[in-house]
Amino acid sequence: MKLWGGRFTKPTDALTDDFNSSIHFDHVLYSYDIEGSIAHGKMLVKQGILTKEEGEKIEQGLLEIKKDIENGTVVFDVDAEDIHMNIEKLLTERIGDAGKKLHTGRSRNDQVALDMKMYAKDQIQEIDEMLHQLLQTLHQLAREHTETIMPGYTHLQKAQPVTLAHHLTAYFEMFKRDRDRLKDCYKRANVMPLGSSALASTTYALDREYVKELLDFDSITLNSMDGVSDRDYLLELLSGLSIVIMHLSRFSEEIILWCSDEFHFIKLDDSYSTGSSIMPQKKNPDIAELIRGKTGRVYGHLMGLLTTMKGIPLAYNKDMQEDKEAVFDAVNTIKMCVPIFTNMIRTMTVDKDAMYQGAKGAFTNATDAADWLVKKGIAFREAHAVIGKLVLYCIESEKNIEDLSLEEFQEISPMFDEGIYDHITMEACVDHRNNIGGPSKEAMEKVLSIHKQYLAEKQLP
């Protein structure tokens, strides 16, 4: 008989058991379920609801079950539905009636809420450390390339010269924000729901603060209905992970472009590339493409859970079981993608000359030529029009701006003199952008110093 089967007159259909059961995916919560159960048992002893002997038997039994699960000697029972009832069933089989008393004052509803919050906290910490490693790699690469000039783009058209360091630190800022979002999510996962019971708390005199301390939560939930039905922190986690993988995907798209023959800005290490079954010359950026592809997978989990939660009345409903596979898969996807992406960019080879030559094309110094005229006293809009004519002349003459003679410059505007040449080199275009946030070496050194300090600070407890 099922643990809840007292009011039923016949067993559930086998198909119903399979459909209703979650043990095939929620078994990953076993360690959190056992840790939470041990804390709950200790609290019941403290409150005089269980005897000290019963509490000791329960704790010892749970620790033995944990050991056996980790040794692979436990076979979970689909008929017991989920990890909570599987562990309770195993405990009762091993220690007898004391195992039946463990569920006093709690429900699977607050039990699963506890387990998922403990899981979320741990996973956020693990992912945060992975993002920290990625940021360290970006920081090191940026330090090496403060003078590696490359084209900056808008609309995927060459726009102005920047440096590779400047480009990389743009992603540094993105992943910093990702860590901030996860840190914020951690705060809301760090509120302990156990004691909410099914939805209306319990008549037993529980010490929820004691359990909170045992399980290292910051605070306890203040409404039992919300305690069992809140999945906001999982939606936040999925949203945060969706933005993480969006950033990885954007960077992956650039990696894919940069290692193409058309760009030739980088070469990926053989360890992070694949070949073709038919074309022997191919070296494909499959890792970057897979990360880009897995982005839709994580997005899908976020939209799925949002849709699941949108019409659920208070309090707990079985629909909420759909949170686990979505969250587990999104977390596992991110935990695969971040480390391999980190290693991929850490081992790539940068072709500095190709980047520099790329920066020289498509009149990326045109804005600097206009700025030079402005500093000579011409209004910017007039300078913009003059340089527009100059670019048109260059296109028709098949020349770059810096290749024009002074006479050609002065045919467009008499304001030009020899000083224009020093102002429109690629180096000058970068170095003159010396405001914080800009690509000059001086500005980048200041930003990298700030980033170094950031990397030395602790983000999560």
Q: Which positions are catalytic?
A: 155, 276
| Cα-based angle 105, 10, 74 (whole degrees, multiple of 5) | 60
What is the CB-side half-sphere exposure of residue 208 using CA atoms within 13 A?
Answer: 22
Spatial separation of the C-alpha atoms in residues 334 and 330, rounded to whole Å:
6
Q: 230-243 in b/e burial notation, b at 16+ Cβ within 10 A?
A: bbebbbbbbbbbbb
- Stated as kind and residue range, the H or E segment containing 339 is helix 323-346
Q: Any residues with CB less than 8 A from the CB of 136 and at least 6 apart, and which?
A: 455
Spatial separation of the C-alpha atoms in residues 345 and 247, rounded to whole Å:
14
Spatial separation of the C-alpha atoms in residues 287 and 147, rounded to whole Å:
28
Collapse the DSSP code of 153 into the 3-class scheme (helix H, G, I; strand E, B; otherwise coil) and give the result: strand
Phi-psi label, residue 194: left if phi above 0, alpha if psi -120 to 50, beta otherwise: beta
- Stated as kind and residue range, the H or E segment containing 411 is helix 406-412
Beta carbons of 186 and 124 less than 8 angstroms apart? yes
Which amino acid is it at 458?
Answer: K
Written as one string, the DSSP assignment of 44-77 is: HHHTTSS-HHHHHHHHHHHHHHHHHHHHT-----
Collapse the DSSP code of 216 into the 3-class scheme (helix H, G, I; strand E, B; otherwise coil) and give the result: coil
Alpha helix ranges (H) inside 158-311: 164-189, 208-214, 224-229, 232-258, 286-309
| Cα-based angle 270, 275, 281 (whole degrees, multiple of 5) | 95
Q: How many CB atoms lie within 10 A of CB 320?
A: 22
Q: Which residue has the tokens 């990953």?
A: 28
SS3 content of the chain, % helix, strand, coil (to 5): 65, 5, 30
Q: What Rg value do the Cα atoms of the chain yield, rounded?
A: 30
